[in-house]
Amino acid sequence: MIKRLHLAILGCAAAALLQTSLAFAQQPFQLSSKFLEATFYGNKVWDGQHHFAKVLCLTFPRPGDAQAFAEALYNNNAIYYSRAAYNDLTALYVVSSTIPAGRSSEEEISNLEAQHKKAIDAYPRTFSQSKATGELGPSLSLTVRNAKEGSKEVPFPLTRTIDRRPDAPLTSLSVHRLFVHGHDRIEVAGLRYFKIPVEPEQEAAATADLSALVEQASQSLQSCTAKLPPRM
């Protein structure tokens, strides 16, 4: 069994959480709990089921392929972070924080969309986004070419470091889904590294494959989390 964190998320909001953060504009993050990690080898079996307090819940896809699961709290317990690492250079992340009081889910999604639009305008080859609607209401889908995972001090996807060269071959890829449930902002993200750079004609297939994995996690999160009473 994974030792789970059951600390309550404090009401303070982490300003600008989930904004696109390039290598030259990192947000400061500070651990406020132990960084807990469980590994799955031999006879250790994970069913993929996961929940955090009364904020979110889901079943991670492909639990039999998972090698490790980690979770932690940041910034005086205001930010929750979790990461499932798989055996094919892929990881799935679920993070959450609070949004400012009085801001609706539609307003928060619109703010995030505008923030992403700035990144898209600056790096059109790197970022793309679209909107969707599901059990948790409006949401955003974001795709990032050549995203890189940071350290525990600058954890992905809370920060998103990229290779800013427009002609860089595809060596990594991330896909993000962003939701709002009550006063909680929730992001599901997948990050995959490629041992051999992906040829341009294969990029669409690589994106579709990772998007399908993230969508599976997102659908589970929406279905489960929608049954939790929104924190107001």
Q: In this model, does residue 132 exceed pLDDT 50? A: yes
The model's confidence at residue 66, banded by pLDDT at 50, 70 and 90, is: very high
What does the domain layout of the chain look like in residue ranges?
36-225
What does the pLDDT read at residue 96?
A: 97
Q: What is the pLDDT of residue 22?
A: 40
Output the average pLDDT for the chain.
87
Residue 135 has what pLDDT? 95
pLDDT of residue 82: 98
Instruction: Tell me what pLDDT residue 78 has.
Output: 92
The percent of residues in the chain predicted with pLDDT above 70, rounded, is: 88
State the Cα angle at 58 between 116 and 114, rounded to 5°. Answer: 10
Q: Residue 1 pLDDT more than 50?
A: no
**pLDDT score of 114 more than 70:** yes
Q: What is the mean pLDDT of residues 58-81?
A: 95
* Band of residue 45 on the pLDDT scale cut at 50, 70, 90: confident
Q: What is the CATH number of domain 36-225?
A: 3.40.1000
For residue 27, what pLDDT band results from cuts at 50, 70 and 90?
low
Closest by Cα among 74, 76, 225, 232 to 159? 74
